[in-house]
């Protein structure tokens, strides 16, 4: 324990972005209220920034995206896999469905949804004002083409999962036995009816429904296998949101211009510039007023350095996300489109996995590194989903003595006296761990994990000998690199706590590659018609949590407060989660009070 305390005390300021490789942004199954203020740690932050003054006309909204890695630049809802790409599109190009305070799809947006449980259908209606930035109206085919893209045999992405296999005719189309999807019915230019094999409450939150439209008239003639590298995705994708891309500096900066055809009216600010800002310089950038907004989430470890600046307001809300400890327990079978679990792999012993979870003092890490803006996680359902998150008494939390006892009882002994435990059969055990790079803190966090496991006698070493660059990290994890036994990652759940998209048998995001018939049934129960009954649904979520704790294919380790930094040049910014009956707040409604962002005085 003394080694661990010294390691934490020595950690330096920097940043580590434990962001999802893409996560899921499709609707999901929630039915409870949300906490719109505060944090998951000890520091409480507000959600509304306001400033006095008369707004100017024109101007450029300047946005910094804190990252030490370039963005991939895949600007398509069905093809992106990088959280940074999603961040670039979220407030500029998206906004099809509007949500209520429970994250359920509500009326009032450019896309509306009506679910008929008895008919097993979801009907989507397109607002007649919804228009692409080239002046072409959004049509039913712009919505329906998502199914034809992700279900195609040449689709290179990761979103063809159980939610979409539930669409009638989808599996036949994927197998190539038909050129059409019988369950995707285009009624007219603005109406689409989706027929499902089974309908549950998750459809109310958009399960099996594309989260955004895509410009069919721009991409229809591009081969699906080549679409991800096309100009229509990489350079000049059309947008039906408030802004569209006008220029890109590859991996570094994107220039957006206002969509004059935006369905809610031309945005107040004519241009948005989003550029990468290195975490090592982001504090100085905030101080000198280089940006109006630091996008996605300001690094929590740097909060203490900016909290007293007088040119900004710092907003926060509990994040729909969690960091986790993942174990490689199988492979992805691309032909079958499902995970193949192999518990004879190195991390196949659940005792070893649980011991590694109990060895991590996440409270100490949070207190020492994240300024009270993070906290230990005890569930794969983040606490922002108040009706589904539970404080399970069996959660795998820090207990070093328990970790040591589990290993002792399971037969992991130091046979040769080198300080490290061998396997129960006496053979050597080396655990290869993959972590993400992210400045000096990324290096220090990697040392924290390795030291924590070495303190309980496990010979844990870093894959490649060092933290791995963000994009390369997820490339290796997704490819089931044989040099990775354990990995540290994170998921952004979006509005959907329903877990099949991350842990289902056919989910490519199931990076641990763990599946079982019992887990299949639990996940099926969560999305079943029977789950329209709240008691049954809540019980299914509890069974999911208990099962994942018992088998520990992944272990949640940390919850986070999402921190947004807003320069005082912005008239008003509402960072709260959706409110029922109110319009979605987008960057289209923002106003500027000066020609340039304001610098700290003092």
DSSP 1-14: -HHHHHHHHTPPS-
pLDDT band per the 50, 70, 90 thresholds, residue 39 = low
Give the Cα separation of 484 and 476 in Å (integer): 8
Q: Provide mean pLDDT across the span 391-400.
A: 94
pLDDT band per the 50, 70, 90 thresholds, residue 310 = very high
Residue 285: phi and psi, rounded to 5, are -65, -40
Identify the CA nearest to 553 among candidates 589, 509, 597, 583.
Answer: 509
Give the Cα separation of 413 and 422 in Å (integer): 6
Q: Mapping DSSP to helix (H, G, I), strand (E, B) and coil, where does residue 145 land?
A: helix
Give the Cα separation of 583 and 264 in Å (integer): 10
pLDDT tens digits along 200-216: 888 988 989 999 999 99
Residue 401 CB burial class (10 angstroms; 0-12, 13-18, ≥19):
exposed
Give the Cα separation of 51 and 36 in Å (integer): 21
Residue 384: phi and psi, rounded to 5, are -65, -25
- Residues present in the chain in total: 602
Q: Provide mean pLDDT across the span 297-321.
A: 91
User: Is 200 or 354 the better-scoring residue by pLDDT?
Assistant: 354
pLDDT at 5: 35
Q: Provide mean pLDDT across the span 384-401.
A: 90
pLDDT band per the 50, 70, 90 thresholds, residue 349 = very high
What stretch of H or E contains 60?
Answer: strand 60-66
**Pairing between strand 121-126 and 111-116?**
antiparallel
The chain-wide mean pLDDT, for the chain, equals 90
pLDDT at 448 over 80: yes
pLDDT at 16 over 60: no
Q: Provide mean pLDDT across the span 324-340.
A: 96
Give the Cα separation of 342 and 336 in Å (integer): 16
pLDDT band per the 50, 70, 90 thresholds, residue 417 = very high
Measured at the CA of 186, the angle between CA 180 and CA 190, to 5 degrees, comes to 145
Q: Mapping DSSP to helix (H, G, I), strand (E, B) and coil, where does residue 504 land?
A: coil
Q: Mapping DSSP to helix (H, G, I), strand (E, B) and coil, where does residue 533 land?
A: coil
406: alpha, beta or left, given left = phi > 0 and alpha = psi -120 to 50? alpha
In order of 198, 379, 521, 524, 551, the CA distances from 515 in angstroms are: 21, 18, 11, 13, 10
pLDDT at 498: 86
Neighbouring residues of 208: CB distance < 8 A, sequence distance ≥ 6:
26, 122, 163, 164, 166, 167, 194, 196
pLDDT band per the 50, 70, 90 thresholds, residue 20 = very low
pLDDT at 439: 64
> Which residues face 565 on adjacent strands?
294, 314
SS3 letters across 534-581? HHHHHHHHHHHHHHHHHHCCEEEEEEEEEEEEEECCECEEECCCCCCC
Give the Cα separation of 590 and 598 in Å (integer): 16
CB atoms within 10 A of CB 399: 15
DSSP 173-240: HHHTS-SS-TTEEEEETTEEEEEBSS--GGGGGTTTS-SS---HHHHTTS-GGGGGGSHHHHT----S
Give the Cα separation of 445 and 16 in Å (integer): 8
pLDDT at 34: 35
pLDDT at 33 over 60: no
pLDDT at 7 over 80: no
Q: Provide mean pLDDT across the span 572-595.
A: 86
% of the chain residues with pLDDT over 90? 73
Q: Provide mean pLDDT across the span 276-304.
A: 91
Residue 552: phi and psi, rounded to 5, are 50, 50
Beta strands in 334-434 (DSSP E): 338-341, 374-376, 430-434
Strand order in the sheet with 184-188: 111-116, 121-126, 191-195, 184-188
pLDDT band per the 50, 70, 90 thresholds, residue 15 = very low
Neighbouring residues of 158: CB distance < 8 A, sequence distance ≥ 6:
22, 81, 478, 508, 509
pLDDT tens digits along 135-171: 999 999 999 999 999 999 999 998 998 889 999 999 9
pLDDT band per the 50, 70, 90 thresholds, residue 296 = confident
- Residues 475, 479, 483, 488, CA torsion sign: positive
- Residues 383, 385, 390, 396, CA torsion sign: negative
């Amino acid at each position: 324990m003394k080694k661990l305390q010294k390691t934490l005390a020595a950690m330096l300021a920097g940043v580590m972005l434990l962001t999802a490789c893409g996560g899921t942004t499709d609707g999901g199954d929630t039915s409870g209220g949300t906490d719109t203020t505060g944090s998951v740690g000890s520091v409480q932050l507000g959600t509304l920034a306001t400033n006095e003054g008369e707004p100017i006309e024109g101007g450029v909204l300047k946005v910094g995206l804190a990252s030490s890695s370039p963005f991939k630049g895949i600007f398509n809802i069905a093809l992106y896999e990088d959280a940074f790409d999603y961040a670039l599109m979220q407030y500029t190009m998206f906004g099809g469905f509007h949500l209520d305070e429970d994250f359920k799809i509500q009326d009032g947006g450019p896309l509306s949804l009506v679910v008929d449980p008895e008919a097993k259908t979801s009907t989507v209606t397109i607002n007649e004002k919804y228009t692409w930035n080239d002046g072409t109206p959004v049509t039913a085919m712009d919505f329906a083409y998502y199914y034809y893209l992700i279900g195609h045999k040449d689709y290179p992405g990761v979103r063809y999962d159980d939610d979409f296999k539930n669409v009638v005719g989808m599996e036949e189309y994927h197998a190539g036995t038909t050129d059409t999807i019988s369950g995707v019915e285009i009624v007219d230019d603005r109406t689409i009816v989706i027929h499902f094999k089974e309908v549950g409450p998750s459809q109310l939150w958009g399960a099996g429904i594309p989260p955004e439209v895509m410009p069919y008239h721009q991409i229809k003639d591009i081969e699906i296998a080549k679409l991800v590298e096309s100009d229509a995705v990489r350079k000049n994708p059309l947008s039906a949101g408030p802004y569209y891309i006008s220029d890109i500096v590859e991996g570094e900066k994107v220039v957006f211009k206002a969509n004059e055809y935006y369905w809610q009216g031309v945005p107040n600010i004519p241009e948005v510039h989003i550029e990468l800002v290195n975490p090592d310089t982001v504090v100085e950038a905030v101080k000198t007023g280089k940006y109006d907004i630091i996008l996605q989430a300001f690094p929590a470890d740097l909060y203490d350095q900016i909290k007293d600046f007088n040119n900004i307001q710092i907003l926060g809300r509990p994040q729909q996300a969690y960091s986790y400890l993942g174990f490689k327990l199988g492979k992805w079978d691309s032909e079958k489109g499902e995970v193949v679990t192999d518990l004879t792999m190195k991390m196949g012993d659940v005792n070893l996995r649980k011991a590694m979870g109990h060895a991590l003092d996440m409270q100490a890490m949070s207190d020492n590194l994240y300024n009270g803006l993070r906290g230990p996680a005890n569930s794969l359902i983040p606490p922002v989903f108040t009706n589904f998150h539970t404080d399970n008494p069996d959660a795998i939390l820090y207990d070093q003595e328990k970790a040591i006892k589990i290993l002792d009882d399971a037969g992991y002994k130091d046979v040769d006296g080198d300080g490290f435990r061998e396997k129960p059969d006496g053979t050597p055990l080396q655990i290869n761990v993959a972590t993400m790079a992210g400045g000096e803190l990324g290096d220090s966090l990697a040392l924290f994990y390795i030291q924590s496991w070495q303190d309980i006698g496990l010979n844990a070493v870093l894959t490649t000998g060092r933290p791995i660059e963000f994009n390369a990290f997820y490339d290796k994890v997704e490819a089931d690199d044989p040099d990775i036994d354990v990995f540290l990652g994170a998921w952004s759940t979006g509005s959907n706590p329903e877990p099949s998209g991350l842990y289902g048998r056919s989910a490519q995001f199931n990076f641990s590659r763990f599946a079982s018939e019992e887990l299949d049934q639990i996940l099926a129960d969560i999305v079943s018609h029977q789950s329209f009954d709240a008691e049954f649904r809540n019980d299914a979520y509890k069974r999911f949590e208990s099962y994942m704790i018992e088998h520990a294919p992944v272990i949640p380790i940390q919850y986070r407060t999402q921190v947004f930094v807003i320069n005082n040049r912005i008239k008003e910014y509402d960072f709260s989660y959706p409110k029922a009956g109110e319009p979605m707040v987008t960057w289209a409604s923002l106003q500027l009070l000066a020609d340039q962002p304001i610098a700290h005085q003092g």
